[in-house]
Amino acid sequence: MAVEGLGVRYGRDVVVLGCIDLACAPGGFTVLLGPSGAGKSTLLRCLNGLARPSAGRVLGPDAAPIHRRLRAHRRQTGMVFQQHQLIGRLSVLDNVLIGLLGQRSPWTALLPPSRAERERSLDALERVGLIERALTRADALSGGQQQRVGIARALVQRPRLMLADEPVASLDPVTAERVLDLLARICREDGITAIVSLHQVEFARRYAERIVALAAGAVVFDGPPALLAEADIARIYGPAHSPQAAQEEYA
Ligand code: ADP
């Protein structure tokens, strides 16, 4: 997965991403850090072809430009969102089955799920520890459980790439840690390349193999967590920002 000379601008004046070069090794767990508005979501959306670059290109795990095979790229890319984006009135199982819709041809999308699809979805629910809640309405689950369903919905695609945009921003610290443990373990076990945006510096240090920090649309740090110094954090969040203040910005 790589971006080369990636730029995103809106209109003439709003430059959201400058000229970003980034290559993520297969199977790695990369955390995107940066203040609100730095461009993290936009970068993740470009990696899935949801946002259109104004310059440069995005290469998929197979090193081919994603726009040439966008449907295939999305099929092998799992997305996890901050607000999990489940359909509350549907069962947990039905929400996971939605993750398989992209694997179908347009003319079979309306058919009921096959037995194989249901089994695959139940397997995904088992991996996230929610098999016994398969028939529960999604909106009856806690926030942490809902995010685990969000992970199962991405996992059921058997993705090569997992993109997660602030997946624990709405969760309390203990639940957030459980969800990140799960996400990191599944990606490691399945060899999935993960790119995850977080605003908690401490979580980034704990889970990332590599931290890429953005500020005002540019990469201002790129390296292993052990090399992320206080001076880097000041550069990412501004001189007045300690890690604590960075977290409070989102509180
Ligand atoms: P982050 O995820 O780091 O908070 P975003 O990628 O969401 O940052 O946003 C980066 C910047 O791009 C913000 O200043 C935001 O207002 C701007 N932006 C995002 N989408 C649009 C859009 N469709 N039109 C104009 N500006 C946008």
C-alpha to C-alpha distance for 95 and 107, rounded to whole angstroms:
20
Q: Whose CA is nearest to atom 25 of ligand 1?
A: 10
Substitution candidate for ligand 1 out of 8, 33, 41 with most atoms within 8 A of CB: 41
What percent of the chain is modeled with pLDDT above 90? Answer: 85
Pairing mode, strands 77-80 and 161-165: parallel
| Ligand 1: nearest atom to the Cα of 217 | 10
Residue type, 5: G
Q: Report pTM.
A: 0.93
**Encoding tokens for residue 144?**
């942490």
Q: Do 77 and 48 meet the contact criterion of CB atoms below 8 Å apart?
A: yes
pLDDT digits (tens, 9 = 90+) for 91-137: 999 999 999 998 888 788 788 999 999 999 999 999 999 999 999 99
* Residue 85: per-residue pLDDT: 92
Q: Cα separation of 45 and 91, whole Å? A: 27
18 Cβ partners below 8 Å, 6+ apart?
A: 7, 217, 218
Determine the Cα–Cα distance for residues 170 and 190; give it in Å rounded to an integer: 26
